[in-house]
Amino acid sequence: MTSDAHAHTHAHEDAHGSARTYDAVVLAGGGARRLGGTDKPSLTVGARTLLDRVLSVCADASTTVVVGPRRPTRRPVAWVREDPPGAGPLAALDAGLGPVTAPAVLVLSADLPFLRPETVRALLDAAGSGPEGGTGAHGGKAADDHANETHADAATDSAFDNSFDNDADFDGAIVNDGRDQPLLAAYRTDSLRRELALLRTEYGSLTSLPLRLILPELRLQRIDVAVGGRTTASDALDCDTWEDVAAARARIREHDTVLDEWMAAVKAELGIEQLDVDTAVLLDLARDAAHGVARPAAPLTTFLVGYAAAQRGGSPEQVAEAAAKASRLAARWAAESEEATGRETTGGEQPGEEQGDGR
């Protein structure tokens, strides 16, 4: 097992300003038999590969490890392979943990086109903020009910308020969309390594073992996709068949999502994924330029606003400031045009001016 590239190190700051790090492991192997042997992570949804879409939601991981054959990616990752290749998901997960050094590890499959950063944060928050006692095989119904309340709180909290370095009793957190999703979860790294070691001892090898074997002995908080409003069923949608791929490609082109998806694709293509763009402000500017000046002025104006903001550092505030200036300019331009039109229709009179009788 070797890694031939390493991601940049990031530290996510919680609401209190303290640095918190996690690593990410993305499983991107498998034969994709139901896709006729096609390399599934390289399929595109919204003109971005499935793998790149998943990598974009964990961009602040300290190290990102991808298990599978090397492929082009938009950002640096560490590449590893299970030994032997094709040995199954548990062997792949074990290989992926090799370069991991953070106390928490986010584990994802490479075919989750609608996974959002909010869901990643909710998983990491929930995994590090459990109440006393456990869920799953150890917790029982009362603990599950308690955990569900905690999940709602965690899912609605946008900051990393807790750390994997605390004394919480959980081994991690997992999304449940009617069934547990072990490849949509955050684990304590030591707990996950311990469980894999026990399974290797029990079975002699991890080769070809089903992924679900890691779950019974881990105390996991369940994030129900119906709880809290932050995670939705779409986060867990994967692409196992050509019908799934077609549905995903149709979904991103729906009226209420197409602009957000397009903006995400353009930012990824230009390498500015971290730029926070207020789409409504730019659309309002484009409307003002189109109506007040001329339709072709809309794209030209937004380009110039972006360029001007970039010259000044490119922060969201600078984009908003440049957009506001251009909107005021468009308003003055439109007012001037209306004034000129008014004079033409009144024979050159100033607005409100009465025509004299010439005496």
Q: What is the pLDDT of residues 268-297, one digit of tens each?
A: 887 777 777 778 888 888 888 888 888 888
Query: Is residue 112 within 8 Å of 124, Cβ to Cβ?
Result: no
Quick one: pLDDT band at residue 100, thresholds 50, 70, 90?
A: very high
Distances (CA, A) of 26 to 51, 54, 105, 277, 278: 8, 8, 10, 27, 30
Backbone angles phi, psi at 24, to 5 degrees: -125, 140
Q: Which tens digit of pLDDT belongs to each residue from 156-202?
A: 333 333 444 444 589 999 999 888 999 999 999 999 999 999 999 99
Instruction: Name the DSSP letter for residue 174.
Output: E
Tell the residue number behind the tokens 């026990």, with chain if given.
198
Query: Does the pTM exceed 0.85?
Result: no
Q: CA dist 352 to 52, 345, 348, 355, 357, Å?
A: 62, 13, 12, 10, 16
Interatomic CA distance for residues 351 and 178, integer angstroms:
68
Could you tell me which residues are beta bridge partners of residue 107?
Answer: 25, 185
> Going by C-beta distance under 8 Å and a sequence separation of 6 or more, which residues neighbour residue 116?
57, 235
Bridge partners, 23 (sequence order): 105
Least confident window among 5-19, 237-251, 315-329 = 5-19
What is the residue-averaged pLDDT of the chain? 78
Phi, psi of 226 (to 5 degrees): -90, 0
Task: Name the amino acid, one letter, at 130.
Answer: G
Q: What average pLDDT does range 337-359 have in this prediction?
A: 56
Task: Report the DSSP pairing between strands 78-80 and 44-45.
Answer: unpaired
As a whole number, mean pLDDT of residues 60-87 equals 94
Q: What are phi and psi of 339, to 5 degrees?
A: -65, -45
Q: Which helix (H) or strand (E) holds 357?
A: none
